[in-house]
Chain A
Amino acid sequence: MRLDQLPLNRPARVLAIAWADLADTAAKRLRELGFDEGVTVEAVHVSPFGKDPIACRVGRMTVALRRAQAQAISVEAIAA
């Protein structure tokens, strides 16, 4: 499953990030904001307009990103 397909409030683990699919600046920001293989993410909000971007919790931080970038992140839901 990709991060943009993850239902809200369902914790998941990042399996892989297709860094090559991202622009350099986007990849760098994503790393700086704490995205990494193995970390836990959870989509918590979507924008009221068009459900894009989405807000994800990564570590103790909430990060907004567009669906286009979330597509590069494969995740696996963690059994609650």
Chain B
Amino acid sequence: MNPAPVVALVGNPNAGKSALFNALTGARQKVGNYPGVTVERKAGRMSLPDGRPIELIDLPGTYSLEPASPDEQVTRDVLFGKQEGERLPGAILCVVDATNLDNHLRFTLQLIGLGLPIVVALNMVDMAERDGLKIDAARLSRELGVPVIPTVAVRKRGIDELKAAMAGLVGDGGVQKIAAGSGFHHEDIVVLQRRARAIALAATTEEHGARAWSHRIDSIALHPVAGPILLAGLLFLIFQSVFAWAQAPMDAITAGFDQLGKWVDTELPAGFVRNLLSQGVIKGTGAVVTFLPQILILFFFILLLEATGYMVRAAFMMDRLMARVGLSGRAFIPLLSSFACAVPGIMATRTIDDPKDRLTTILIAPLTTCSARLPVYTLIIGACIPAKQVLPGVGLQGLVLFGLYILGIVGALLAALVLRRTVTRGPSHGFMMEMPKYQRPSLRDVGLGLWARCLIFLKRAGTIILLSNIILWVLASYPVAPAGQKQTEYSIAGRIASGIEVVVKPIGFNHNIALALPPAMAAREVAVAALATTYAIDAGDNEDATDQALSGKLGRDWSLPTALAFLMWFVFAPQCLSTIAVTRRETNGWKWPAFMVSYLFVLAYVASGLTFWIATWAGL
């Protein structure tokens, strides 16, 4: 039997491609990477009305077949059958935005020129109608010479008709290969654009002068006074909700893991397996999984801002500020995503076409406060910063957390300023970007995006984090210390930590911190798990101590200068293997990740040291 035919989903950015992909494939999608490049590969299964399966691949949005960025290159390579590990598509599903026909048709004309079977999804027809545009799909189809199906992907309208049209395109899975160059005439963008404009004009049968409602929203969203207030308010709301809304589910998860630990302790016979499970696996992994709600809430808002189109407005407003440090507004989107996680943030820099801008953004992305730092911040602040009110309604703990976020932002901007004048010096290519129309986001699309993030996080918790916890637990538990000696000092891990302690003692770190630093290289949140594990081992058989919360132990064990220095370390230190790995892939080599890791470690060491000594001197 032939494998399912491949259909490539292609279109301009902002044409509603992802929504159409979701509508066609549902949850049956696989998100991965193309080999060799870090362009996200999204593929999904769909069935035609007659039951035949189709493999639909969602190609990165692009304005033309002349690539300007890595993801545009992938789109071109897949369509020409040159992408490694990808079968040549048997047909193209081209998405165009009905409200933006004259621009999107230009790319459609280019695609039709390829000679592959093609169907056009005339998407967002509802928005076009709201804008006072009536588009004659039949006329458009005649002009283009290919089937045109009106759709509203976010409302799943026109999907059945589209599937029927696709059924006509794919044969038995056999593929006609387009020889490179044949059937594809390189035409000047301007020539194609003029033809596209003429066709769009002919197919648009009715137009009244209704001002697009996006324009009206922008009059407020980009208003000289209201605009910045709205942006600041939104950012505040996001970070506020991360803490307020996440509390209940986090407590529930903690309680669940505690129950599980108790159950293991009572049901299993004492010994290696029980200790490994309760101290290494459950305590450690539980400490990390607890933060899933916070991470999901943050991603929820970022996905929502992207889906509505507001994210580009934020970039538009921030461009001037970013220009001051040598970047462009485009860098704002990757940096904001980095607040959730630097890995997707760094991957999002692909949309920055200027290589120097992009490199700088990659290098500073780890400085923005990613959600993996939250567990560390929350734990240490809760344990060591007194919960007193500074002003009515403003607690000291919240203020410190806010300060850490600000510090990350200021650090990132200063780093950009310095880098742009030294290692990534070069002319600025400015800022040029389409501002998509505002859209009511589909909760289903946001939900699918969240689900993918959730799986990635849990997979990490179940693999890297779990593994490093088990290794740490074993290293920290053996050899067993003789009576009178502390286990966390006598064990293998303890001895390694004693070596590290020599280096970090001057910046105020104690033995248990030294013990938690190496495993935290795997991922920052592992520090919490590692501290939980080491203190659990230290508590050992002492039942009272085991039951006591980790934060209570830290509060007694750590001085305030040590806690502050530790927080400062986590603001700057590049403690994340995934970030280093993604930087290597994105920059094609070890040079830049090595540079990034060194400058961040130096910053972290200096900042922690200064904090510790100033705090000690101030008598805190």
B218 touches A55 (CB 8 A): yes
In the complex, what's the smallest C-beta–C-beta distance from B312 to chain A, in angstroms? 8
Please give, as numbers and ranges, the residues of chain A lying within 8 Å of B63 by CB-CB distance.
Answer: 29, 32-33
Measured in the bound complex, the distance between the Cα atoms of B323 and A47 in whole Å is: 13
Which residues of chain B in 222-239 are interfacial with respect to chain A, using CB atoms and an 8 Å cutoff? 222-225, 227-228
CB nearest neighbor in A for B229: A48
Which of B228, B312, B431 is within 8 Å of A65, CB to CB? Answer: B431
The range of chain B's interface size is 35 or more
In the complex, what's the smallest C-beta–C-beta distance from B111 to chain A, in angstroms? 14
User: B-facing mask of A28-44, CB < 8 A → 1, else 0?
Assistant: 11111110100000001
Please give, as numbers and ranges, the residues of chain B lying within 8 Å of A20 by CB-CB distance.
Answer: none
CB nearest neighbor in B for A31: B189
Please give, as numbers and ranges, the residues of chain A lying within 8 Å of B525 by CB-CB distance.
Answer: none
Measured in the bound complex, the distance between the Cα atoms of B66 and A65 in whole Å is: 21
> Is there a chain A Cβ closer than 8 Å to B457's Cβ?
no
A31 touches B190 (CB 8 A): yes
B431 touches A53 (CB 8 A): yes
CB nearest neighbor in A for B317: A47
Which stretch of B96-104, B114-122, B277-285, B386-394 is in the interface?
B96-104
In the complex, what's the smallest C-beta–C-beta distance from B507 to chain A, in angstroms? 38
Given the known inter-chain contacts A32-B63, A61-B103, please indicate yes or no for A48 contacting B435, CB distance below 8 A.
Answer: no
> Is there a chain B Cβ closer than 8 Å to A45's Cβ?
yes
Which of B189, B321, B430 is within 8 Å of A69, CB to CB? Answer: B430
In the complex, number of A-B residue pairs with CB atoms less than 8 Å apart: 115
**Consensus secondary structure, chain A interface:** mixed
A44 touches B218 (CB 8 A): yes
> Is there a chain B Cβ closer than 8 Å to A15's Cβ?
no
A48 touches B224 (CB 8 A): yes
CB nearest neighbor in A for B436: A62
In the complex, what's the smallest C-beta–C-beta distance from B593 to chain A, in angstroms? 26
Count residues of chain A with CB under 8 A from any CB of chain B.
31
User: A-facing mask of B193-219, CB < 8 A → 1, else 0?
Assistant: 110010000000000000000110011
CB nearest neighbor in B for A28: B68
CB nearest neighbor in B for A38: B194
A33 touches B99 (CB 8 A): no
Please give, as numbers and ranges, the residues of chain A lying within 8 Å of B228 by CB-CB distance.
Answer: 48-49
Please give, as numbers and ranges, the residues of chain A lying within 8 Å of B323 by CB-CB distance.
Answer: 52, 66
> Is there a chain B Cβ closer than 8 Å to A7's Cβ?
no
Measured in the bound complex, the distance between the Cα atoms of B434 and A53 in whole Å is: 12
In the complex, what's the smallest C-beta–C-beta distance from B119 to chain A, in angstroms? 23
Which of B190, B194, B435 is within 8 Å of A55, CB to CB? Answer: B435
Most buried by A among B219, B316, B353: B316
A25 touches B434 (CB 8 A): no
> Is there a chain A Cβ closer than 8 Å to B397's Cβ?
no
A62 touches B435 (CB 8 A): yes
Which of B102, B189, B430, B434 is within 8 Å of A62, CB to CB? Answer: B434
> Is there a chain A Cβ closer than 8 Å to B82's Cβ?
no
B429 touches A23 (CB 8 A): yes
CB nearest neighbor in B for A59: B102
Please give, as numbers and ranges, the residues of chain A lying within 8 Å of B99 by CB-CB distance.
Answer: 60
Please give, as numbers and ranges, the residues of chain B lying within 8 Å of A36 by CB-CB distance.
Answer: 190, 193-194
Measured in the bound complex, the distance between the Cα atoms of B353 and A63 in whole Å is: 16
In the complex, what's the smallest C-beta–C-beta distance from A34 to chain B, in angstroms? 5
B433 touches A63 (CB 8 A): yes
CB nearest neighbor in A for B193: A36
Please give, as numbers and ranges, the residues of chain A lying within 8 Å of B318 by CB-CB distance.
Answer: 49
> Is there a chain A Cβ closer than 8 Å to B58's Cβ?
no
Which residues of chain A in 52-77 are interfacial with respect to chain B, using CB atoms and an 8 Å cutoff? 52-53, 55, 59-66, 68-69
Measured in the bound complex, the distance between the Cα atoms of B427 and A33 in whole Å is: 22
User: A-facing mask of B59-78, CB < 8 A → 1, else 0?
Assistant: 00001101010000000000
B189 touches A66 (CB 8 A): no
Measured in the bound complex, the distance between the Cα atoms of B545 and A52 in whole Å is: 60
In the complex, what's the smallest C-beta–C-beta distance from B195 to chain A, in angstroms? 12
Most buried by A among B101, B434, B437: B434
> Is there a chain A Cβ closer than 8 Å to B156's Cβ?
no
Please give, as numbers and ranges, the residues of chain A lying within 8 Å of B64 by CB-CB distance.
Answer: 32
Please give, as numbers and ranges, the residues of chain A lying within 8 Å of B100 by CB-CB distance.
Answer: 59-61
Which residues of chain B in 539-572 are interfacial with respect to chain A, using CB atoms and an 8 Å cutoff? none
Measured in the bound complex, the distance between the Cα atoms of B431 and A23 in whole Å is: 12
Measured in the bound complex, the distance between the Cα atoms of B102 and A4 in whole Å is: 24
In the complex, what's the smallest C-beta–C-beta distance from B201 to chain A, in angstroms? 10
In the complex, what's the smallest C-beta–C-beta distance from B110 to chain A, in angstroms? 11
B103 touches A47 (CB 8 A): no
Please give, as numbers and ranges, the residues of chain B lying within 8 Å of A32 by CB-CB distance.
Answer: 63-64, 189
B329 touches A53 (CB 8 A): yes
B435 touches A64 (CB 8 A): yes
User: A-facing mask of B296-310, CB < 8 A → 1, else 0?
Assistant: 000000000000000
In the complex, what's the smallest C-beta–C-beta distance from A48 to chain B, in angstroms? 4
CB nearest neighbor in B for A58: B103
User: A-facing mask of B408-445, CB < 8 A → 1, else 0?
Assistant: 00000000000000000001011111110100000000
B316 touches A29 (CB 8 A): no
CB nearest neighbor in A for B228: A48
> Is there a chain A Cβ closer than 8 Å to B177's Cβ?
no
Please give, as numbers and ranges, the residues of chain A lying within 8 Å of B225 by CB-CB distance.
Answer: 48
In the complex, what's the smallest C-beta–C-beta distance from A76 to chain B, in angstroms? 19
Please give, as numbers and ranges, the residues of chain B lying within 8 Å of A68 by CB-CB distance.
Answer: 430
B427 touches A53 (CB 8 A): no
A53 touches B319 (CB 8 A): yes
B222 touches A48 (CB 8 A): yes
Measured in the bound complex, the distance between the Cα atoms of B110 and A32 in whole Å is: 12
Measured CB to CB, the residues of A under 8 A from B are 23, 25-26, 28-34, 36, 44-50, 52-53, 55, 59-66, 68-69
- A to B CB contacts below 8 Å, 24 in the list: A26-B430, A28-B66, A30-B432, A33-B432, A36-B193, A44-B218, A47-B222, A47-B316, A47-B317, A47-B320, A48-B223, A48-B317, A49-B228, A49-B317, A59-B102, A60-B99, A60-B100, A60-B131, A61-B434, A62-B215, A64-B319, A64-B329, A66-B323, A66-B431
The 9 closest A-B pairs by CB, nearest first: A32-B63, A49-B320, A62-B435, A50-B320, A48-B227, A45-B222, A66-B430, A48-B224, A31-B189
Q: Kindly list 18 other residue pairs between chains A and B, CB separation below 8 angstroms, not including A25-B353, A33-B434.
A: A29-B68, A32-B64, A33-B63, A34-B193, A44-B218, A45-B222, A47-B317, A49-B321, A52-B319, A60-B99, A60-B101, A62-B434, A62-B437, A63-B432, A63-B435, A64-B431, A64-B433, A66-B432
